[in-house]
Amino acid sequence: MRCFPLRSMQTPFAPVSSMTGLFIMHTLFAEIIANLGSENKSLPVFLSGNIANSVQHNEYLLEKYGAQIPELINNTSFK
């Protein structure tokens, strides 16, 4: 595992393998969403809080899918 060293710290930080894994995961998400979106399908994707009308959109998804995924109802970070 490679890490980024910092001269002022003895312990390296930010393992490259973790960053690579996150990059791969987010790239897969983006490609899957883009491919499904190109087929004009309505996608149940939560929106970031800094996007206009995201609260209403995310609340709609919570109402629609909350019973199927109870972890969503108990998570208040989407509201």
Task: Give residue-wise pLDDT tens across range 31-67.
Answer: 988 888 887 777 888 889 899 999 999 999 989 988 8
In this structure, the answer to whether residues 2 and 16 fall within a common structural domain is yes
* Confidence at residue 56, expressed as pLDDT on a 0 to 100 scale: 93
| Same domain (yes/no): 3, 36 | yes
6: three-class secondary structure by DSSP = coil
Q: 68: exposed, middle or buried (C-beta count within 10 Å: 0-12, 13-18, 19+)? A: exposed
3-20 pLDDT per residue, tens: 666 777 777 666 778 888
pLDDT value at position 77? 63
pLDDT for the residue 76: 62
- Could you tell me if 55 and 20 lie in one domain? no
Q: Are both 3 and 37 inside the same structural domain?
A: yes
What's the domain range around 18?
A: 1-43
Rg (C-alpha) for the chain, rounded Å, is 18
Strand partners, 4: 13
More confident residue, 74 or 46: 46
Task: Please state, in angstroms and rounded to a whole number, the distance separating the CA atoms of residues 29 and 59.
Answer: 21
Report d(CA 66, CA 37) in Å as an integer.
Answer: 23
Q: In this predicted structure, what is the pLDDT of residue 75?
A: 67
